[in-house]
Structure 1
Amino acid sequence: MENRYLIILGILAVILVAFISLGLYFSDQNNSEINNLTNNITSNNSDLNNIVNNSSNVNTKENIKTNSTSKVNNNKGIKIPKDYKLSYTEAMNYAKKATKHAFKNTDMDVYPKFGGFETVYGKKSWYFEVRDKKTNKWVDGFFIDDNTGEGFI
C-alpha cells in the first residue's frame, strides 16, 4: 500500500513540475513581447530628446540675434506662471519639431497640443499631448523642461 502512495505522490510531483515549467515558459514569451514594445517606445523617446535638444540650441542663438528689448506676448490666452522662462510660442515650436521628428517614420499625421504646466523630477515643465489629426485622439505625451528646452518623458 505504501508503494502505491509513493507512486501517486511521484506522479503528482511530475505533473506539478510540468505545470510550473509551462507557466514560466509562457510568462517569458509575454515578457519578451512587452520588452520589445518598451524598447521601441524608448528609442522613439530618445529621438524626441535629441531633436528637442538640437532645436533648442539653434533657436536660442537665433533669439539672441533677433529679439529686441520689448517682448511680444504670443501666449494665446494661456496664463504662464511668472517664474517660467519660455513663452508659449517657443515651447510650442519645440513641441512641433519634437513631434514631427518622433513620428517621422510612421504613417500617423499628428500634432502637439498644450496640456499644462507641471513640476516633474524637480523641473518646471510644459506638458504636451500628441494627438492624431484625423481622430483627435491622444497618441502620446511628453514634457519640455522650461530651463533648457529639452524634451523628456
Structure 2
Amino acid sequence: MDAELSALAAAGATALVQQMVTDRWPQVRDRAVAFFSRRRGGDPAVIEDELEASRARLVAARGAEDQDAEAAVQAEWRNRLRRTLRSDPAAAAQLRALLDELGPVPSAQRQAAVHNTIKGGAQHRTAIQAGSVGNLTIGTPRPPTTR
C-alpha cells in the first residue's frame, strides 16, 4: 500500500477513536457506518455494533488507564481502513472528505490522561499543575484593601 493511503488510514483511525469519547460520537458513528456499509455490501447494523463494541472497549480501557487496550482499538480500525482503501480506491476521497468535515476535536472535548509528579522534598503549600486555570481561589479570599 502506498505511504499516502497508509497515512490516511492512520489519520482516519485516530480521528474515529478520538470521536468515540466525545459528544459528537452519535453523528460520527452514523457517518462511519455509512462509509463502511457502502463497501462490499456491509450490513449497517453489524458495522454499528462493531463501532459501539469498540467504543465500549475504549471507554473501559481509559477507565483502567490501559494504554495498550486503547492502542488496540485504534489499530483495529486503522487495519480495517487500510483494507477498505486497498479494495476501493474511491474510498480515499470519501475518507478525506469525512476527515475534513470532522476537523480537529475541540479542546473542550479532548480527553487525555494526565499524570502529575512533584519531586524535591516535602511540599507544605498548595501545588497546582495545570494546562489552564481560570478564576481560582484556594482557601479564604482576602478582602480587597482600601486606601
Q: TM-score, normalised by structure 2?
A: 0.25
Query: More relative contact order in 1 or in 2 (CA 8 Å, sep 6+)?
Result: 2
Please identify the structure whose Cα radius of gyration is greater.
1
